[in-house]
Amino acid sequence: AAGVIQSPRHLIKEKRETATLKCYPIPRHDTVYWYQQGPGQDPQFLISFYEKMQSDKGSIPDRFSAQQFSDYHSELNMSSLELGDSALYFCASSRVGQVQYGYTFGSGTRLTVV
Amino acid sequence: AQKVTQAQTEISVVEKEDVTLDCVYETRDTTYYLFWYKQPPSGELVFLIRRNSFDEQNEISGRYSWNFQKSTSSFNFTITASQVVDSAVYFCALSSEKAGANNLFFGTGTRLTVIP
């Protein structure tokens, strides 16, 4: 069965650079969520999209932006990277009205800022 | 507000011992969903189980079992006859069916180490 695809798996950037993370949800899933997990931390909700519109916003820095495209894939854009942005970034997808069936997570993108 | 508390930060057990991971949640919603995820050293989040607020039936899946008690707002997870491969961080999570706000809230996780 198709899963949530995230790319790249690993990314190394320097401070003040920009990074773009991509997420391809499970087919027919219309909602995408982004989470950030710092070292030794639990995943923190950043932002979500439903039908290409932002549906909820968590602790996402102003330096970050995201969008969902017509094919439902989503991109998380991160600018002016800081050392503290080093984390595992997860994308998850679900289908609205079917939260009871759970969220499927991608394998994550490990971002290292040096 | 949603909140998930996993009071046990780290647990170590010897292989074949049983272990229970605690999870206590807070929510004002009447319809909500509880989840457990496993995060092995490789980093991915592996879905284990989901429970909705209307179903308090306990569940068993092989060596795993879950005890959901609304009266104490708890959703505990027991691994029977633990194995080394069970070593991971386990997250309990909560979500509710609210329009535009149904993201998952995670607990801080419990790191389980199974010693051979």
Interchain pair A102, B47: CB under 8 A = yes
Mean of pLDDT values over A66-90 = 96
On the question of pLDDT at B83 being above 60, the answer is yes
> What average pLDDT score do residues A10-24 get?
97
pLDDT-based confidence at residue B98 (cuts at 50, 70, 90): low
Average pLDDT over residues A55-67: 93
In percent, how much of chain B has pLDDT > 90? 66
Provide the β-strand partners of residue B14: B115
DSSP state of A89: E
- Provide mean pLDDT across the span A87-114: 86
pLDDT for the residue A64: 97
Residue of A nearest to B98 (CA): A97
Residue of A nearest to B44 (CA): A107
Res. B2: pLDDT tops 90 = no
H-type alpha helices, B28-104: none
- Enumerate residues 6+ apart whose C-beta is below 8 A from B62: none
Confidence bin at A63 (pLDDT 50/70/90): very high
Reply yes or no on whether the pLDDT at A67 is more than 80: yes
Q: Which residues of B48-76 are buried (b: 16+ CB within 10 A; e: fewer)?
A: bbbbebeeeeeeeeeebbbbbeeeebbbb
Q: What is the pLDDT of residue B99?
A: 45
A38 near B CB under 8 A = no
What does the mean pLDDT of chain B come to?
A: 91
| % of chain A exceeding 70 in pLDDT | 95
- Nearest CB to B108 within list A42, A48, A108: A42
For the cut 90, the answer to whether the pLDDT of residue A59 exceeds it is: no
Distance from C-alpha of B74 to C-alpha of B67, rounded to nearest angstrom: 8
Residue A101 has pLDDT above 80, yes or no: no
The strand pair at A109-113 and A10-13 is best described as parallel
Report residue A106 as tokens.
Answer: 């991608």
**Position A55 confidence tier, pLDDT thresholds 50, 70, 90:** confident
In the Cβ-directed half-sphere of B64, how many Cα atoms lie within 13 Å?
A: 15
- Contact A101/B50, CB-based, under 8 Å? yes
Cβ within 8 Å of A, B 65-104: 91, 95-97, 100-104
Whether A72 has its CB under 8 Å from any CB of chain B: the answer is no
Do B92 and B76 meet the contact criterion of CB atoms below 8 Å apart?
A: no
Band the pLDDT of B93: cuts 50, 70, 90: very high
For B60-79, how does the pLDDT look when each residue is reduced to its tens digit (9 = 90+)?
889 999 999 999 999 999 99
User: Which one of A25-29, A72-76, B28-32, B50-54 scores highest in mean pLDDT?
Assistant: A72-76
